[in-house]
Structure 1
Amino acid sequence: MKFEITEDMQQKIKKWDSCDPVDVAGAKFAYTFIPTGLGLVIQVKCDICKRILDLTEDFLI
């Protein structure tokens, strides 16, 4: 199974993102992909503010 973040998803993440990275590498997101019988659940969690962006509705496969 292949899990990818599309260009549309990247644009939505950029619009949602409001935190500045605090580590040297600039990493601040955790990506979660959960395959189900109805499609793929996709979530992005900000490690700084702990908010979660659910991309499942917009990009249900």
Structure 2
Amino acid sequence: MIFQITEEMQRKIQNWDSCNPVDVTGAKFSYTFIPTGLGLVIQVKCDICKRTLDLTADFLI
């Protein structure tokens, strides 16, 4: 199974993101992909402010 972030998902993440990275790598997100019988659950969590963006509803298979 291949887990990818599409260009449309990337745009949603950029619109949702409001935090500045706090370390030298610029990393601030963790991505969770959970395959289910109904499709793929996709969540993005900001490691700085702890908010979670759920992309599942927009991108169910």
Deviations 1:19-45 (A, max 9, x none): 000010000000000000000000000
* Number of equivalent positions: 61
TM-score w.r.t. the length of structure 2 is: 0.99
SS of equivalent to 1:10: helix
Matching of residues 1-61 of structure 1 within 5 Å? 1-61=1-61
For 1:3 and 1:37, locate their aligned partners in 2 and report how far apart those are by CA, in whole Å: 16
Gaps of 5+ in 1: none
Gaps of 5+ in 2: none
